[in-house]
Amino acid sequence: MSTLKPDDILKRTSAVGAYYGFSSLSSLAAVKKSAQRAPFPENLVLDALDTNARDVAGFLKHVRDAGLTPSAAQPLFLWHTNAAAGRPAPKQIVIQFHAIGVEHAIADAVLIRAVRALMQELGKGSHTIRINSMGDKETRGRFARELNTFFRKHGNTLPENCVDCAKRDIFEAAELLASMEDGGSMPSPTDNLSEVSRKHFETVLEYLESTDTPYELAPQLLSRGVSWTETCFEIKSDEKMAAWGSRYNELGKHFFKGNIPSMAAVIRISADSRDVIPAVKERGAPRFVFVHIGDEAKRESMRMADDLRRARIPMAQSIGVQSLTEQMRLVDTINPPYVLIMGRKEALERSVILRERANHTETFIPLDSLIERLKAVG
């Protein structure tokens, strides 16, 4: 039995990222060539952040230092890890996936799907997605008031360490209590969601359901502090690997101008794992770029991503990017011989258009036979 190899983790992360539209931060930084290495913002107190937030802050500093400027018009879907090819694995391997600049709930669903797919690649067994919403700033304010009332009212019957913690940080105290059996009677943030947050969370769940992504509602899954907002989720496979994710709009304000809606997932892998991960062949340049137009096509492409990945179709796509202009920018960058196109009509008919770019020939292919046809062509 051998330990997890950083080289294989990098290859698998890169492969999964490509099928869901995530690029490596290091590759984009190398193209940009504008590193400035500025310090962390003075008003950001790292010691006040939880472990996941500190990792995300470090990532955002790398993005800023690389001169990358995400926006709603040009969002960034990135992955990053502390594992390096050709070097021993760190004690804990950390892999981050980020969707920066996308407010729509599709970013939440795509990120959750990508993280789940990577964890399935790296580990055995079942992977349970537990999901909740902490809501927006308005929601967190209402929830904080309810928690304070709850701790005052039930202080005599709650664990002493939880009551003491509530005096310092009400959300940390709630997190601590939620990890105990007593957490069942605690208020839930979803009962306090604003109308905007409620609609966002409902849309996230609709995306998961419509793409056959299994999940469990977890009312007592909480995110701590002011770093996190809206959707939060966790995925666990065993004691060696776990993922946690949330939106972090407030944290992003320290690094980017304006309000850039963003979401992150952090996967932690114990480097002393003895599970064997078979070597992965290097991926060649993608021969297909999948372009989707409309919500129905996005949902269908999410459902198809894992099948296309398992079939090793050399493909790239940007599922979470709604702009056709930005998707065509990916086509121009990769310059593949073929483009797959799916609009609302094709999604409803369960078909896709295969366009050969050299001669502009177009062929309609039913989804049931798509993988076979792409293998024959690619």
Q: Looking at the structure, tell me whether residues 317 and 222 fall in a common domain.
A: no
Q: Is residue 33 pLDDT above 70, yes or no?
A: no
Q: Which two tokens mark 81? A: 């890890």
Q: Looking at the structure, tell me whether residues 24 and 146 fall in a common domain.
A: no
Q: Looking at the structure, tell me whether residues 119 and 236 fall in a common domain.
A: yes
At 276, the pLDDT band (50, 70, 90 cuts) reads very low
How far is the C-alpha of 286 from the C-alpha of 301, rounded, in Å? 17
Q: Looking at the structure, tell me whether residues 153 and 37 fall in a common domain.
A: no
For the stretch 212-242, pLDDT in tens is 999 999 988 888 767 889 999 999 876 678 8
The residue type found at 286 is P
DSSP line for 288-313: EEEEE-SHHHHHHHHHHHHHHHHTT-
Q: Looking at the structure, tell me whether residues 130 and 25 fall in a common domain.
A: yes
Which of 64, 62, 86, 11 minimizes the C-alpha distance to 256?
Answer: 64
- CA distances 132 to 27, 44, 188, 228, Å, are 33, 26, 9, 12
Torsion of the alpha carbons at 155, 160, 165 and 168, rounded to the nearest 10: 60
Q: Looking at the structure, tell me whether residues 199 and 170 fall in a common domain.
A: no
| Residue 200 falls inside a structural domain | yes
Residue pair 251/57 in contact (Cβ under 8 Å)? The answer is yes
Q: Which two tokens mark 280? A: 């992965």
Q: Looking at the structure, tell me whether residues 149 and 33 fall in a common domain.
A: no
In which element (H, E) is residue 317 found? Answer: strand 315-317
| Residue 281 falls inside a structural domain | no
Quickly count: other Cβ atoms within 10 Å of residue 247's Cβ.
27
| Residue 247 falls inside a structural domain | yes
Q: What is the extent of the structural domain holding 171?
A: 137-191
DSSP line for 82-149: S--TTSPPPSEEEEEEEEES--STHHHHHHHHHHHHHHHHH--S--EEEEEE---HHHHHHHHHHHHH
| Residue 370 falls inside a structural domain | yes
Average pLDDT over residues 246-251: 89
Q: Which two tokens mark 215? A: 């999940």
How far is the C-alpha of 101 from the C-alpha of 257, rounded, in Å? 11
Q: Looking at the structure, tell me whether residues 266 and 211 fall in a common domain.
A: yes
| Residue 257 falls inside a structural domain | yes
Q: Looking at the structure, tell me whether residues 17 and 121 fall in a common domain.
A: yes
Which of 78, 62, 90, 80 minimizes the C-alpha distance to 6?
Answer: 90
Q: Which two tokens mark 111? A: 């990120």
Q: Looking at the structure, tell me whether residues 240 and 368 fall in a common domain.
A: no
Q: Kindly report which listed range (150-154, 175-179, 291-295) carries the lowest average pLDDT score.
A: 175-179
Q: Specify the pLDDT at position 103.
A: 92
Which of 355, 354, 326 minimizes the C-alpha distance to 101?
Answer: 326
The values of phi and psi at residue 105, to 5°, are: -65, -15
Domain end, chosen from 156, 191, 226, is at 191
Helix (H, G, I), strand (E, B) or coil at 216: strand
The residue type found at 361 is T
| Residue 279 falls inside a structural domain | no
Q: Looking at the structure, tell me whether residues 205 and 234 fall in a common domain.
A: yes
Q: Looking at the structure, tell me whether residues 145 and 71 fall in a common domain.
A: no
Which of 76, 79, 81 minimizes the C-alpha distance to 100?
Answer: 76
How far is the C-alpha of 186 from the C-alpha of 89, rounded, in Å? 40
Q: What angle do CA 262, 265, 270 make, to 5 degrees?
A: 160
Q: Specify the pLDDT at position 274.
A: 42
Burial of 245 (0-12, 13-18, 19+ CB in 10 A): buried
The values of phi and psi at residue 85, to 5°, are: -60, 135
Domain end, chosen from 270, 299, 331, is at 270
Q: Which residue has the higher pLDDT, 285 or 135?
A: 135
Structural domains counted in the chain: 3
Q: Which residue has the higher pLDDT, 222 or 297?
A: 297
Residue corresponding to tokens 């966790």: 234
| Residue 212 falls inside a structural domain | yes
For the stretch 101-151, pLDDT in tens is 999 999 999 999 999 999 988 876 678 899 999 999 888 889 999 999 999
Domain end, chosen from 270, 297, 318, is at 270
For the stretch 202-215, pLDDT in tens is 999 999 999 999 99
| Residue 70 falls inside a structural domain | yes
Q: Which residue has the higher pLDDT, 179 or 205?
A: 205
CATH number, domain with residue 353? 3.40.50.800
How far is the C-alpha of 332 from the C-alpha of 135, rounded, in Å? 38
Burial of 300 (0-12, 13-18, 19+ CB in 10 A): buried
